[in-house]
Amino acid sequence: MLKLAGAALVFTAAAFFGGNMCEKIKNKLALLEALGDLISYIGESIETFRLPLGRIFEDYQNTFLQEIGFLYILRRDGLAAAICSVEKDLLPEIFDQLCSFAGAIGGGYASEQAKLCAFTKERLCSASSDLRTQLPGRLKIYRMLPLLAAASVLLLII
């Protein structure tokens, strides 16, 4: 009876671990899409209205970015600090691209800034579409692999 309870506990923990990993992947995709929307908004606001970055950051609204605290950091400390706050959730090449974007935005002519926003948005869209295509396979792996590992460990122990 004790072995069955232990096995149930191991399988439950493995299932929760797999579910947690699935949520992390979904959050990465949501973050990429939300950052793409933010960059589009910045580009449109600069090109159309010639607004300063502080005003653009104050006017922008996004529930996902609000929930993770990104917008608070963006408005308080700026774009570079906000991007650094989500570094762990971004691919290294996307993080580098966003850091370059944060360093270059706000300086120069509006047309140059709009092109920079369009380029960065295109890179984010490419990364998010790649992740979206990989998502079903990754979710399946993250759901099944911990359960299979738990089963193999239990077979070795029992």
pLDDT tens per residue, range 95-124: 999 999 999 998 888 889 999 999 999 999
The amino acid sitting at 129 is S
Residue 144: CB atoms within 10 Å: 12
Over residues 50-68, the mean pLDDT reads: 95
Q: Please give the pLDDT value at position 157.
A: 81
Task: Specify the pTM.
Answer: 0.91
Residue-range definition of the domain harbouring residue 81: 2-157
Q: Please give the pLDDT value at position 7.
A: 85
The total number of structural domains in the chain stands at 1
* Separation of CA 42 from chain center: 18
